[in-house]
Every structure is written in C-alpha cells, then in structure tokens.
Structure 1
C-alpha cells in the first residue's frame, strides 16, 4: 500500500504543478469527430473503439447492481450500487501515457454526473489496471472502472478521458 500512496502523491504533485500531459487531439470518436469546433462529437457504443488524445477506448461491458467488490476479508461496500465498467485502453500515441481511472465520468439520463470510485476500483482490479497505470505506445490494458451510484439510477453514458484535462469521448450505454 505504501507504493500506491507514493504514486498517488507524485501524481497529485504533477497535476498541481501543471505537468499533466494534455493532448490537442482530444475528443475524437471512432470516425474522427471532435468535441471542439463546428463538428459535433460522435458517440460510440459498447464494443466500438473511441479515441480521446493518446488513448483508444473500447468499453466491453457495464454491469450495475453490485453491492460489494473485493473479497470477504478486504473489500468495499457500495453506498448505493456499484456499476462496473470493463474497458480496454490502448495507447495510440508515440509516448507513454498514464491512465487514471479517477478522470472518468458516468451520466444518468437526467444529466447527473458521477465520478469513479478509485478505492473500489483497487478491489475490482487484480493488478490496479485503472489506478495510475503508465501505458507505453502500442500497448493496451483492460480493467474495471467503478462508479458508486444510487440504487435506482441507470447510467446512460460514459465520458472517457486520456488525461484530467482532455475533452473526453462519449460512450452510450444500454
């Protein structure tokens, strides 16, 4: 746990100093839409690749209604329900890029935004795939991003980011 805490402090320090790696090519979906300018962003669906900056995301599945993640001895209990989003992240850039699960957002039909639950994601992933994972060019990882939402909420959209400062790309759920 000491290594995880140190990584989190280093990452927070870099963000505070403005050393994050935002990329100008953010917000493009599969066919190249972009969030800025006159062209509206395209929304990808589950199973379709979508790009934001140096990452190509493919959401494999989204499962809600999970009460607890982890083992019987160590785990995290949901305040409402956990929604587990399994995503493949591929670095399509020419430099290493850090994937941070806490930069990802989920939305309900009424537009309510939900942040990911990094603590629960540590229990949902065997190797901390979605916690400050440095991905080299051409490499990819698969992991689970966890959202803790009220029991009656149904998520309709994800907004996935290659960095905290990118425009993001939308993925329709359901």
Structure 2
C-alpha cells in the first residue's frame, strides 16, 4: 500500500479483518505497508467482502490464493486458547491450551519482533509462521500461554515523562 496522504491513517478490511497503515506522524507508526490476510471460507462460500477505508492510496502487487485442506488436516487445528479475560489486559493475552500432539502454536497476530511468548512461564522463541503470523513450537499437554507486546520506545517515554514531571515540580517549588 502506498499512502498518498501519509499524515492520515488508511485501512482495508477483508471479511471484517482490518489491516491499518498508521499516519507517519503517529506515535506508534507501524510502517505496515504489506497487508496479509488469512480468510477462512465456509463450505460453499466463494466470495469475500472487501471494504476500502477513506483516504488516497494505491494498492499494488495484490495476490490471492485459494486452497482447501485435505480431510486428514482437520487434526492440524488441535485446539484454541481459552483466554482468561481477567489476565488479558493492555499488552497481554493470557490463557490455557490443551495440545494433543507436539507441533506449532500459530496465532492470527501479525508477527512483530516486539512480542514475547511464554509457555508455562518460560519464554519461548517466537517465529514468523505461515509467512506472516506470530507462532512458536509447542509440546503436547495442557499449557499456560502468555503473549506480551512491548511497544518500542515505551520505557524511554515513561522515563522522559517522569523527568518532565519532576522538572515541572522543581520549577514550581523554585
């Protein structure tokens, strides 16, 4: 996606799944110029819904692939994470998963190096899986899963904010 108005956000939805290119001056500008979607179709479905957000932009190198999983691949999807809503807040997703066989834990979260994943409290190596998504290897059994996103620059921002507050208070006192 090439945004002709880089000071404005632009987004595209496919079957309700949104990808967004943040404005260049946004605090968390994501530089996400390549949008990748994995859109499951139900039996008998042969169309998708595409919604183009407001803005002036150009899409290029658009590619689409259609395939089906063989009957035996139903074991590919072993189970879903049971999200603990009390522990899932801000930049943390946490829950449990029951895995039948050793394999891969694959999310629908776009891969980003600022994520950390913990399986049973131990940090595990994250990988880009299925060309675009966050994942890791996982063994069979019941596991606690925690995914944490560390926004780049957040710590520095907090430090500078505290310095500013302390400076302001000192200025008031003086």
Higher relative CO (Cα under 8 Å, sequence separation at least 6) belongs to: 1
Compute the TM-score of the two structures, normalised by the length of structure 2: 0.27
| Higher radius of gyration, 1 or 2 | 2
